[in-house]
Homo-oligomer: A and B are copies of this chain.
Amino acid sequence: MSGLPGEFDLIARLTAGLRPTRRVILGPGDDCAILAPGRKRQLITIDSMVEGVHFKLKWGSPGALGARALAVNLSDIAAMGGYPTACVVNLALRRSLPMETVDGLYKGLRASARSAGVDIAGGNITSAAQLAITIAMLGELRGAALRRDAARAGDVIYVTGTFGDAAAGWRILDGKLKAGGLNRKFLAARFLRPAARLQAGQALARMRPAPAAIDVSDGLLQDLGHILERSGVGAEIDPDAIPISPAYRSVMRGELALALTGGEDYELLFCIRPGNSERELTARLGVAVRRVGRIVRGRPEISLVGTRKQRLPIRTGFDQLR
Protein backbone atom coordinates (compact mmCIF):
# COMPACT_ATOMS: atom_id res chain seq x y z
CA MET A 1 0.00 0.00 0.00
CA SER A 2 1.31 3.36 -0.96
CA GLY A 3 -0.28 5.69 1.49
CA LEU A 4 -1.07 7.82 -1.54
CA PRO A 5 -4.60 9.14 -1.75
CA GLY A 6 -6.57 8.68 -4.97
CA GLU A 7 -5.71 10.73 -8.01
CA PHE A 8 -8.54 13.21 -7.68
CA ASP A 9 -7.85 13.92 -4.01
CA LEU A 10 -4.15 14.19 -4.70
CA ILE A 11 -4.48 16.71 -7.54
CA ALA A 12 -6.85 18.74 -5.39
CA ARG A 13 -4.36 18.64 -2.54
CA LEU A 14 -1.35 19.54 -4.67
CA THR A 15 -3.06 22.37 -6.52
CA ALA A 16 -4.99 23.80 -3.56
CA GLY A 17 -4.44 27.48 -3.06
CA LEU A 18 -2.87 28.14 -6.47
CA ARG A 19 -3.29 31.82 -7.33
CA PRO A 20 -3.66 31.81 -11.09
CA THR A 21 -3.18 34.94 -13.17
CA ARG A 22 -6.00 36.36 -15.26
CA ARG A 23 -4.95 34.26 -18.20
CA VAL A 24 -6.42 31.21 -16.46
CA ILE A 25 -10.22 31.21 -16.79
CA LEU A 26 -10.57 27.74 -15.26
CA GLY A 27 -7.72 25.99 -13.44
CA PRO A 28 -7.18 22.42 -12.22
CA GLY A 29 -10.21 20.28 -11.38
CA ASP A 30 -12.11 19.99 -14.65
CA ASP A 31 -11.52 17.89 -17.78
CA CYS A 32 -9.39 20.70 -19.23
CA ALA A 33 -8.11 24.05 -18.08
CA ILE A 34 -9.45 27.10 -19.93
CA LEU A 35 -7.00 29.86 -20.89
CA ALA A 36 -7.88 33.34 -22.12
CA PRO A 37 -7.16 33.94 -25.81
CA GLY A 38 -3.62 35.12 -26.46
CA ARG A 39 -2.83 37.64 -29.17
CA LYS A 40 0.77 36.50 -29.59
CA ARG A 41 2.24 33.55 -31.43
CA GLN A 42 2.30 30.70 -28.95
CA LEU A 43 5.14 28.39 -27.97
CA ILE A 44 4.60 24.83 -26.79
CA THR A 45 7.08 22.21 -25.63
CA ILE A 46 7.02 19.01 -23.59
CA ASP A 47 9.80 17.47 -21.53
CA SER A 48 10.09 14.65 -19.03
CA MET A 49 12.36 13.71 -16.14
CA VAL A 50 12.46 10.04 -15.19
CA GLU A 51 13.82 8.59 -11.96
CA GLY A 52 16.91 6.48 -12.55
CA VAL A 53 17.36 7.98 -16.02
CA HIS A 54 17.63 11.70 -15.30
CA PHE A 55 17.91 11.80 -11.52
CA LYS A 56 18.00 9.82 -8.31
CA LEU A 57 15.86 10.98 -5.44
CA LYS A 58 18.69 10.72 -2.93
CA TRP A 59 20.75 13.29 -4.84
CA GLY A 60 18.77 16.29 -3.67
CA SER A 61 15.57 17.56 -2.12
CA PRO A 62 12.19 16.82 -3.69
CA GLY A 63 11.64 20.57 -3.93
CA ALA A 64 14.78 21.02 -6.04
CA LEU A 65 13.58 18.18 -8.26
CA GLY A 66 10.25 19.91 -8.85
CA ALA A 67 12.00 23.17 -9.61
CA ARG A 68 14.37 21.39 -12.00
CA ALA A 69 11.51 19.75 -13.89
CA LEU A 70 10.09 23.20 -14.49
CA ALA A 71 13.49 24.72 -15.35
CA VAL A 72 14.21 22.26 -18.17
CA ASN A 73 10.94 23.30 -19.79
CA LEU A 74 11.54 26.99 -19.16
CA SER A 75 14.89 26.52 -20.85
CA ASP A 76 13.12 25.46 -24.05
CA ILE A 77 11.06 28.65 -23.93
CA ALA A 78 14.25 30.64 -23.28
CA ALA A 79 15.92 29.04 -26.30
CA MET A 80 13.11 30.41 -28.51
CA GLY A 81 13.37 33.88 -26.97
CA GLY A 82 9.90 33.48 -25.50
CA TYR A 83 7.97 34.33 -22.36
CA PRO A 84 6.53 31.35 -20.43
CA THR A 85 2.83 31.55 -19.62
CA ALA A 86 1.25 28.31 -18.38
CA CYS A 87 1.94 24.62 -17.99
CA VAL A 88 0.26 21.31 -17.29
CA VAL A 89 2.00 18.65 -15.21
CA ASN A 90 1.82 14.87 -15.45
CA LEU A 91 3.14 13.01 -12.42
CA ALA A 92 3.86 9.30 -12.67
CA LEU A 93 4.16 8.03 -9.09
CA ARG A 94 5.45 4.72 -7.86
CA ARG A 95 3.53 3.15 -5.01
CA SER A 96 6.49 3.14 -2.64
CA LEU A 97 6.90 6.91 -2.88
CA PRO A 98 6.34 8.70 0.44
CA MET A 99 3.62 11.33 0.36
CA GLU A 100 6.10 13.89 1.73
CA THR A 101 8.20 13.44 -1.39
CA VAL A 102 5.23 14.24 -3.62
CA ASP A 103 4.29 17.23 -1.50
CA GLY A 104 7.87 18.51 -1.48
CA LEU A 105 8.25 18.04 -5.21
CA TYR A 106 5.09 19.96 -5.96
CA LYS A 107 6.02 22.68 -3.52
CA GLY A 108 9.27 23.26 -5.40
CA LEU A 109 7.42 23.18 -8.69
CA ARG A 110 4.87 25.72 -7.49
CA ALA A 111 7.47 28.09 -6.08
CA SER A 112 9.44 27.99 -9.33
CA ALA A 113 6.33 28.50 -11.42
CA ARG A 114 5.32 31.47 -9.31
CA SER A 115 8.70 33.10 -9.59
CA ALA A 116 8.74 32.57 -13.37
CA GLY A 117 5.19 33.95 -13.72
CA VAL A 118 3.92 30.60 -15.01
CA ASP A 119 0.45 29.30 -14.23
CA ILE A 120 0.08 25.62 -13.35
CA ALA A 121 -3.18 25.25 -15.26
CA GLY A 122 -3.79 21.56 -14.77
CA GLY A 123 -2.36 18.20 -13.97
CA ASN A 124 -2.73 14.49 -14.16
CA ILE A 125 -1.47 11.69 -11.95
CA THR A 126 -0.84 8.09 -12.83
CA SER A 127 0.95 5.22 -11.20
CA ALA A 128 4.12 3.77 -12.73
CA ALA A 129 7.26 1.86 -11.82
CA GLN A 130 9.39 5.02 -11.77
CA LEU A 131 8.69 8.53 -10.61
CA ALA A 132 8.45 10.73 -13.70
CA ILE A 133 7.55 14.38 -14.07
CA THR A 134 6.37 15.39 -17.51
CA ILE A 135 5.54 19.03 -18.15
CA ALA A 136 4.02 20.64 -21.20
CA MET A 137 4.84 24.34 -21.18
CA LEU A 138 3.20 27.16 -23.07
CA GLY A 139 4.83 30.48 -23.82
CA GLU A 140 4.43 33.41 -26.12
CA LEU A 141 6.64 35.30 -28.54
CA ARG A 142 6.69 39.06 -28.22
CA GLY A 143 9.15 39.56 -31.05
CA ALA A 144 11.23 37.30 -33.25
CA ALA A 145 11.78 33.62 -32.51
CA LEU A 146 15.27 32.20 -32.00
CA ARG A 147 15.21 29.30 -34.43
CA ARG A 148 17.68 26.49 -34.96
CA ASP A 149 17.53 26.98 -38.72
CA ALA A 150 18.70 30.60 -38.74
CA ALA A 151 22.49 30.17 -38.58
CA ARG A 152 24.42 31.55 -41.59
CA ALA A 153 28.05 31.19 -42.68
CA GLY A 154 30.05 33.97 -41.06
CA ASP A 155 27.96 34.03 -37.87
CA VAL A 156 29.88 34.06 -34.61
CA ILE A 157 29.00 31.33 -32.11
CA TYR A 158 28.55 32.43 -28.51
CA VAL A 159 27.51 30.66 -25.33
CA THR A 160 26.23 31.85 -21.98
CA GLY A 161 27.63 30.74 -18.62
CA THR A 162 30.04 27.84 -18.19
CA PHE A 163 30.03 24.31 -19.55
CA GLY A 164 30.48 20.84 -18.12
CA ASP A 165 29.53 21.80 -14.57
CA ALA A 166 26.24 19.90 -14.54
CA ALA A 167 27.74 16.79 -16.14
CA ALA A 168 30.53 16.84 -13.56
CA GLY A 169 27.98 17.43 -10.80
CA TRP A 170 25.92 14.45 -12.00
CA ARG A 171 29.00 12.21 -11.87
CA ILE A 172 29.93 13.50 -8.42
CA LEU A 173 26.40 12.85 -7.12
CA ASP A 174 26.47 9.40 -8.71
CA GLY A 175 29.79 8.57 -7.01
CA LYS A 176 31.70 8.33 -10.30
CA LEU A 177 33.81 11.44 -9.84
CA LYS A 178 35.51 12.66 -6.70
CA ALA A 179 35.30 16.20 -5.46
CA GLY A 180 35.01 17.83 -2.07
CA GLY A 181 34.13 21.03 -0.35
CA LEU A 182 33.02 24.02 -2.37
CA ASN A 183 33.85 22.40 -5.70
CA ARG A 184 31.49 19.54 -4.96
CA LYS A 185 28.81 21.90 -3.72
CA PHE A 186 29.03 24.19 -6.74
CA LEU A 187 29.06 21.43 -9.37
CA ALA A 188 26.25 19.45 -7.71
CA ALA A 189 24.14 22.61 -7.52
CA ARG A 190 24.72 23.28 -11.21
CA PHE A 191 23.17 19.89 -11.91
CA LEU A 192 20.43 20.04 -9.29
CA ARG A 193 19.38 23.66 -9.72
CA PRO A 194 19.75 24.75 -13.34
CA ALA A 195 18.54 28.24 -14.16
CA ALA A 196 16.75 28.74 -17.46
CA ARG A 197 18.27 31.70 -19.35
CA LEU A 198 14.92 33.37 -19.97
CA GLN A 199 16.09 36.99 -19.84
CA ALA A 200 19.07 36.22 -22.05
CA GLY A 201 16.85 34.53 -24.63
CA GLN A 202 14.36 37.40 -24.55
CA ALA A 203 17.19 39.92 -25.04
CA LEU A 204 18.50 37.92 -28.01
CA ALA A 205 15.02 37.93 -29.57
CA ARG A 206 15.13 41.75 -29.60
CA MET A 207 18.27 41.78 -31.78
CA ARG A 208 18.07 42.11 -35.57
CA PRO A 209 18.49 39.81 -37.35
CA ALA A 210 17.36 37.35 -34.68
CA PRO A 211 20.15 34.92 -33.81
CA ALA A 212 19.85 31.16 -34.15
CA ALA A 213 19.79 29.59 -30.70
CA ILE A 214 19.42 26.35 -28.79
CA ASP A 215 19.58 25.45 -25.13
CA VAL A 216 22.38 23.05 -24.33
CA SER A 217 20.73 20.07 -22.67
CA ASP A 218 22.53 17.23 -24.46
CA GLY A 219 26.02 18.71 -24.70
CA LEU A 220 27.58 21.64 -26.52
CA LEU A 221 28.73 19.73 -29.60
CA GLN A 222 25.57 17.70 -29.95
CA ASP A 223 23.25 20.67 -29.58
CA LEU A 224 25.36 22.78 -31.92
CA GLY A 225 24.96 19.86 -34.31
CA HIS A 226 21.17 20.36 -34.25
CA ILE A 227 21.65 23.97 -35.37
CA LEU A 228 24.07 22.89 -38.11
CA GLU A 229 21.67 20.25 -39.42
CA ARG A 230 18.68 22.57 -39.43
CA SER A 231 20.64 25.46 -40.94
CA GLY A 232 22.71 23.45 -43.44
CA VAL A 233 26.05 24.87 -42.34
CA GLY A 234 29.26 23.78 -40.61
CA ALA A 235 31.06 25.17 -37.59
CA GLU A 236 34.52 25.75 -36.18
CA ILE A 237 34.85 25.54 -32.41
CA ASP A 238 37.93 26.34 -30.37
CA PRO A 239 37.73 24.02 -27.36
CA ASP A 240 40.06 26.25 -25.38
CA ALA A 241 37.57 29.10 -25.73
CA ILE A 242 34.76 27.20 -24.05
CA PRO A 243 34.07 28.84 -20.71
CA ILE A 244 34.60 26.55 -17.76
CA SER A 245 34.21 27.29 -14.09
CA PRO A 246 37.06 27.30 -11.57
CA ALA A 247 35.40 24.29 -9.89
CA TYR A 248 35.28 22.37 -13.17
CA ARG A 249 38.89 23.27 -13.92
CA SER A 250 39.95 22.12 -10.48
CA VAL A 251 38.05 18.83 -10.46
CA MET A 252 38.53 17.87 -14.12
CA ARG A 253 42.17 19.02 -14.27
CA GLY A 254 41.94 20.52 -17.75
CA GLU A 255 40.04 17.59 -19.28
CA LEU A 256 37.47 19.26 -21.58
CA ALA A 257 35.35 16.25 -22.59
CA LEU A 258 32.46 17.04 -20.27
CA ALA A 259 32.49 20.71 -21.26
CA LEU A 260 32.23 19.68 -24.92
CA THR A 261 29.81 16.79 -24.67
CA GLY A 262 28.31 16.70 -21.16
CA GLY A 263 24.66 17.67 -20.99
CA GLU A 264 22.29 19.27 -18.51
CA ASP A 265 23.90 22.72 -18.42
CA TYR A 266 20.81 24.52 -19.82
CA GLU A 267 22.97 27.36 -21.06
CA LEU A 268 22.21 29.02 -24.39
CA LEU A 269 24.30 28.65 -27.53
CA PHE A 270 23.59 31.22 -30.24
CA CYS A 271 24.87 32.24 -33.65
CA ILE A 272 24.87 35.88 -34.61
CA ARG A 273 26.26 38.17 -37.32
CA PRO A 274 29.74 39.52 -36.48
CA GLY A 275 30.07 42.94 -34.88
CA ASN A 276 29.18 42.31 -31.26
CA SER A 277 31.73 42.07 -28.50
CA GLU A 278 31.60 39.64 -25.62
CA ARG A 279 31.35 42.64 -23.31
CA GLU A 280 28.40 44.20 -25.15
CA LEU A 281 26.56 40.88 -25.30
CA THR A 282 27.25 40.15 -21.64
CA ALA A 283 25.74 43.50 -20.69
CA ARG A 284 22.76 43.04 -22.99
CA LEU A 285 21.98 39.46 -21.91
CA GLY A 286 22.68 39.87 -18.20
CA VAL A 287 24.89 36.78 -18.11
CA ALA A 288 28.52 36.11 -19.06
CA VAL A 289 28.79 35.51 -22.83
CA ARG A 290 31.82 33.95 -24.52
CA ARG A 291 32.75 33.55 -28.17
CA VAL A 292 33.54 29.88 -28.89
CA GLY A 293 33.69 29.67 -32.68
CA ARG A 294 32.06 30.52 -35.97
CA ILE A 295 29.67 29.18 -38.55
CA VAL A 296 31.22 28.19 -41.89
CA ARG A 297 29.93 27.06 -45.25
CA GLY A 298 29.75 23.36 -45.87
CA ARG A 299 28.35 20.17 -44.49
CA PRO A 300 26.96 20.05 -40.95
CA GLU A 301 30.25 19.13 -39.34
CA ILE A 302 32.17 20.61 -36.45
CA SER A 303 35.88 21.31 -36.83
CA LEU A 304 37.81 21.72 -33.62
CA VAL A 305 40.37 24.46 -34.17
CA GLY A 306 43.15 25.99 -32.11
CA THR A 307 45.46 23.64 -30.26
CA ARG A 308 43.13 20.64 -30.50
CA LYS A 309 42.52 20.28 -34.21
CA GLN A 310 40.05 17.58 -35.09
CA ARG A 311 37.06 17.15 -37.38
CA LEU A 312 33.98 15.68 -35.75
CA PRO A 313 30.79 14.24 -37.06
CA ILE A 314 27.88 15.86 -35.26
CA ARG A 315 25.91 14.07 -32.54
CA THR A 316 28.86 13.20 -30.41
CA GLY A 317 27.27 14.40 -27.21
CA PHE A 318 25.36 12.76 -24.47
CA ASP A 319 22.52 10.63 -25.73
CA GLN A 320 20.59 8.83 -23.07
CA LEU A 321 19.11 6.34 -25.51
CA ARG A 322 22.44 4.98 -26.67
Chain A residues in the interface with B (C-beta under 8 A): 2, 4-10, 25-26, 29-48, 50, 52-54, 75-77, 79-80, 82, 86, 88-90, 92-93, 95, 121-130, 132, 134, 136, 138-139, 141, 145, 147-149, 213-215, 226, 230, 315, 319-322
Contacts and interface: CB of A to CB of B under 8 A. Distances in A.
Contact of A6 (B5, B88, B126, B319): B319
Copies of this chain present: 2
Contacts of A2: 321
B32 A123 contact: no
A45 B122 contact: yes
Contact of A82 (B32, B40, B89, B124): B32
Contacts of A54: 126
Contacts of A37: 37-42
Nearest to A1: B322
B80 A32 contact: yes
Nearest to A73: B32
26 contacts: A5-B321, A8-B226, A9-B315, A10-B321, A26-B145, A30-B149, A30-B230, A31-B214, A35-B41, A38-B42, A44-B136, A44-B138, A46-B90, A46-B123, A46-B124, A48-B92, A50-B92, A53-B127, A92-B132, A126-B320, A127-B320, A127-B321, A128-B130, A128-B132, A130-B130, A136-B136
A33 B226 CA distance: 15
B46 A148 contact: no
A7 B82 CA distance: 24
A46 B7 contact: no
Contacts of A132: 92, 128, 132
A124 B48 CA distance: 8
A86 B44 contact: yes
Task: Rank and list the top 10 A-B pairs by shortest CB-CB distance, nearest first.
Answer: A136-B136, A31-B79, A32-B43, A46-B88, A32-B45, A35-B42, A31-B76, A6-B319, A134-B134, A32-B80
Nearest to A23: B42
Given A38-B37, A80-B30, A7 B44 contact: no
Contacts of A25: 41
A41 B322 CA distance: 42
Contacts of A145: 26, 34
A35 to B, nearest CB: 4
A127 B52 CA distance: 10
Contacts of A31: 45, 75-77, 79-80, 148, 213-215
B126 A46 contact: no
Contacts of A92: 48, 50, 132
A42 B124 CA distance: 18
